Amino acid sequence: MLTNRLSSSGSVSVHAITKISKQSRCLSSSAVRQGSSAGGYDDGSGEEYAPASLLSPSWLRLFGFAAASAVGLSAYSSMHTEGQEPFLTRYLAHNKPSPETSKANADKLLALKKELADDTLLLSDAHRPRLLRMSNPGTFEQASPHKISPGSQADLSDLNIKSLRE
């Protein structure tokens, strides 16, 4: 295209340069190029999303909660005077049972747990373990004698296999 526009002196005409620059400008501003350079991804769903911002209601609630917590903590820490305990410590000391009552309850619970453990141990020793019997004793004798090295298998020649009915 450029070779057709060469003048007789061997230089490119001004008209050809302006036309080429217009074509390149049109190519760079075409709809296809604009869509690919916009950076957005269109998944075809047509949904519009709110722009991400730190001024959204959820972030504002979080910042408000953090500020209220900081103010409350500073007010709580400066609330007690010298020689007086904080409110939460006084509340727990007033409503918590005495140490003697707590120790007595813990000792009773420990004695009950020990007695339960002794009973469980006694009963588990008194019962015989349940025997698991084979459902098909004939399959025990169907093992292949091949690939068994000498001494790797117990001698089971005098073994009597009982079924569930016996």
pLDDT in tens, 3-35: 454 445 555 565 666 666 666 555 555 555 555
Mean pLDDT of 140-144: 66
- Residue numbers of the domain that contains 26: 3-30
134 in Cβ contact with 161 (< 8 Å): yes
Total domains in the chain come to 2
On whether residue 146 sits in a domain, the answer given is no
On whether residue 166 sits in a domain, the answer given is no
Which has the higher per-residue pLDDT, 36 or 122? 122
Q: Supply the pTM of this predicted model.
A: 0.29
Q: Is the pLDDT of residue 66 over 80?
A: yes
On whether residue 161 sits in a domain, the answer given is no
On whether residue 130 sits in a domain, the answer given is no
Give residue-wise pLDDT tens across range 70-109. 998 888 777 666 677 877 888 888 899 899 999 999 999 9
On whether residue 80 sits in a domain, the answer given is no
On whether residue 20 sits in a domain, the answer given is yes
